[in-house]
Amino acid sequence: MSRFVVDFRSRHASTVVILAVSVLLTGCASIAKGVTEAVLESGSGETEDTRMCEAEGVPFEGIEPYLARQDSLPPIGDADSSRPQVKVIYVHGMGTQRPGHSIELMQNLTRSLALDIRSPRPKTISLVHPKNSSEPLGDLTLFRFTDEDRKRDLIFYELTWSLITQPSKEAIAFDESDVYRARRASVNQTMRDFINDVAPDPIAFAGNRRELILSAIGQSSCWALSTTWSQLPESTTGQACKLDGDFGSRAAIDDIVFVTHSLGSRAILDSLQRSVRGVANVRDNRDAQRLADVLRERELQLFMLSNQLPLLEAGQDPQEITGAVEEFCGLDAPRSSERFFKSLQLVAFSDPNDVMSYSIPETWVEHYVDSRLCPKVTNVTVNISSVKSLFGLGTFANPLKAHTGYDADERIGGLMARGAGHADVAPIVRERCTWIATDESLMR
């Protein structure tokens, strides 16, 4: 998020905001006192971490098995195009972002995967629209990681698309003037800065910025599916990834994982569902059809942090085909040749105290996700923000931290790295998280 969110995350700013909101919105001195005492208590000594972490639904493996398949190969070489790579594409959510915004999450994930060696510099691609090279779509920043034996090879693709919505914020830019800022209390101004930075983004996505954001995701996916790290120079500008002989050439070789935050979950699913609808329109293009044929046999994992799919479904057009997974997915599915993936594992992370994120029930997936994606769902309900007692006045958790605090949480890194619902989960997940198994046969 922007500098305003960084300010909000600090202990001092969070304390001030909690106190200010309690007093200003309720005017109740007793609540203010209770919050104050809870905050003071939270800073007094070490306490056992009892934050909730529960995973429920379809077991998922995480990224580790993809890397393990590389262990039998020779060490990585600078130009070995036949060697598979694991590619993680990260799509951010609301708020102004700059390249490098995913560093904390990236370090958390690679630490969980024991990938301790990184390229000294990232590679960058300045994304442009495939039909108009003068239309910028943001930045794609690539980082390469490996282990001490140089056997495992992971490329992290950080998409920064927020410049697309910057024009939408110009309508309220006047509010940055000292004419208005001088009239506000300092805490209220901090809150106003935060709202001005993030609130326009979902509105812009629902309006005339949506297609550009989806194009940015499409371009990021195209570069990941069509090139290796070694094929790219340190900087690529003015060049779009297009349908040509190399298009999708890595789809059958590399493993692709998507990680999203907040609004990013809505954007990536819309991009995938648009791709499903577009398959029928590219059957006369040999390169596009080759990619479609490969993806039909691939399994994809999508990790959605602070998931907002249900919230941002409002105003969406219904998908062409829903509630018909059995027709497209599975060994004996009669319409398996029409599916887009062999399976799409949706792993939705949500903190119950985040006012802007949601779990996704199976019934929601049946009604709102295109069946040709062959979706499977796992919900991870996790307390990112600690719940504090307000001394008889109830309990409280910082909702902003609940929305934005995923990046450094080791449980999140462990879940993405090695999954849940099977024997080989990360130690921190085994110790701190609960797996709730479900069995469809119990419905009979």
pLDDT tens digits for range 359-403: 999 999 999 999 999 999 999 999 999 998 887 778 899 988 999
The whole-number average pLDDT for the span 402-425 is: 97
Residue 340 inside a domain? The answer is yes
Q: Which amino acid is at 439?
A: D
0.75 exceeded by pTM: yes
Q: What is the pLDDT of residues 244-266, one digit of tens each?
A: 778 899 999 999 999 999 999 99
Two tokens, residue 35? 């919050």
Are 235 and 123 in contact, with CB atoms under 8 Å apart? yes
Calpha distance 87→255 (Å, rounded): 6
Are 198 and 4 in contact, with CB atoms under 8 Å apart? no
What DSSP element (H or E) covers 388?
Answer: strand 388-389
- Best CA proximity match to 91, nearest among 240, 217, 198: 217
Calpha distance 295→270 (Å, rounded): 17
Residue 11 pLDDT greater than 80, yes or no:
no
* SS3 per-residue string spanning 208-270: CCHHHHHHHHHHHHHHHHHCCCCCCCCEECCCCCCCCCCCCCCCCCCEEEEEEECHHHHHHHH
Q: What is the pLDDT of residues 42-67, one digit of tens each?
A: 454 556 788 999 999 999 999 999 99
The pLDDT assigned to 443 comes to 87
∠ Cα 402 406 408 (to 5°): 130
Residue 267 pLDDT greater than 80, yes or no:
yes
- Best CA proximity match to 213, nearest among 156, 263, 273: 263
Two tokens, residue 190? 């901090």
* Sequence-distant (≥ 6) Cβ neighbours of residue 444 within 8 angstroms: none
Per-residue confidence band for 167, with pLDDT thresholds at 50, 70 and 90: very high
Per-residue confidence band for 114, with pLDDT thresholds at 50, 70 and 90: very high
Counting the structural domains of the chain, the total is 1
The pLDDT assigned to 32 comes to 41
- The mean of the pLDDT values for the chain is 88
Q: What is the pLDDT of residues 15-43, one digit of tens each?
A: 434 444 443 344 344 434 444 444 444 45
Are 51 and 386 in contact, with CB atoms under 8 Å apart? yes
CA atoms within 13 A on the CB side of 326: 1
SS3 136: strand
Residue 116 inside a domain? The answer is yes
Two tokens, residue 65? 């098995």
Calpha distance 183→101 (Å, rounded): 32
Two tokens, residue 152? 């495992």
Residue at token pair 């490969």: 294
Per-residue confidence band for 89, with pLDDT thresholds at 50, 70 and 90: very high
Per-residue confidence band for 8, with pLDDT thresholds at 50, 70 and 90: very low
Residue 193 inside a domain? The answer is no
- Best CA proximity match to 406, nearest among 387, 382, 378, 429: 382
Calpha distance 66→255 (Å, rounded): 7
What DSSP element (H or E) covers 396?
Answer: strand 395-396
Residue 378 inside a domain? The answer is yes
- Best CA proximity match to 86, nearest among 107, 68, 112: 68
The pLDDT assigned to 45 comes to 52
Which range, of 70-79, 151-160, 194-203, averages the lowest pLDDT?
A: 70-79
Q: Which domain holds residue 303?
A: 51-162+199-439
Strand partners, 118: 145
The pLDDT assigned to 191 comes to 87
The pLDDT assigned to 149 comes to 95
Per-residue confidence band for 279, with pLDDT thresholds at 50, 70 and 90: low
The pLDDT assigned to 278 comes to 74
- Best CA proximity match to 298, nearest among 225, 363, 349: 225
Q: Which amino acid is at 430?
A: R
Two tokens, residue 165? 């919505």
Residue 24 inside a domain? The answer is no
Residue 386 inside a domain? The answer is yes
The whole-number average pLDDT for the span 208-231 is: 96
Residue 210 inside a domain? The answer is yes
The pLDDT assigned to 282 comes to 61
Which range, of 146-155, 310-319, 328-337, 401-410, averages the lowest pLDDT?
A: 310-319
Calpha distance 306→403 (Å, rounded): 6
Residue 28 inside a domain? The answer is no
The pLDDT assigned to 14 comes to 43
Give the percent of the chain with pLDDT over 70. Answer: 87
Residue at token pair 């605090």: 405
The pLDDT assigned to 439 comes to 84
Residue at token pair 């979706």: 375
